[in-house]
Amino acid sequence: MVYVSTLTSLRVSELIDLRWNDVGQDSLRIDERFCRGDWGAPKSDASNTTIAILPDVIARIHRLKTLKVTVGGGAR
């Protein structure tokens, strides 16, 4: 999240709302945000847009699909 935010200048509320269908080959579509427990339109009309991003950022986002997270499983 920090990596994507740093390289795209997206707000946390915009990052939280990203869905897999918002991720293109070389862009991210920003069409919603999550703020104070509510989903809504981006902060400004200019924020409701598609932004071009570096291929490395897209690759890192897509790599998230392959990660497996295990919760618990400590010593018994």
The pLDDT tens digits of the residues spanning 10-37 come to 878 778 778 888 888 999 888 765 555 5
pTM score, whole prediction = 0.62
Kindly list the domain boundaries of the chain, sorted by start residue: 2-65
Q: Provide DSSP, 16-74.
A: HH--GGGB-SSEEEE--EEETTEEE--SSGGGSEEEE--HHHHHHHHHGGG--------
CA distance 26 to 35: 26
Residue 1 DSSP SS3: coil
Q: What is the pLDDT of residue 38?
A: 58
CA distance 67 to 48: 29
Q: What are phi and psi of 75, to 5 degrees?
A: -60, 145
Question: What digits encode the pLDDT tens for the residues 23-74?
Answer: 889 998 887 655 555 555 555 555 567 888 899 999 988 888 888 888 876 6
Q: What is the pLDDT of residue 59?
A: 92
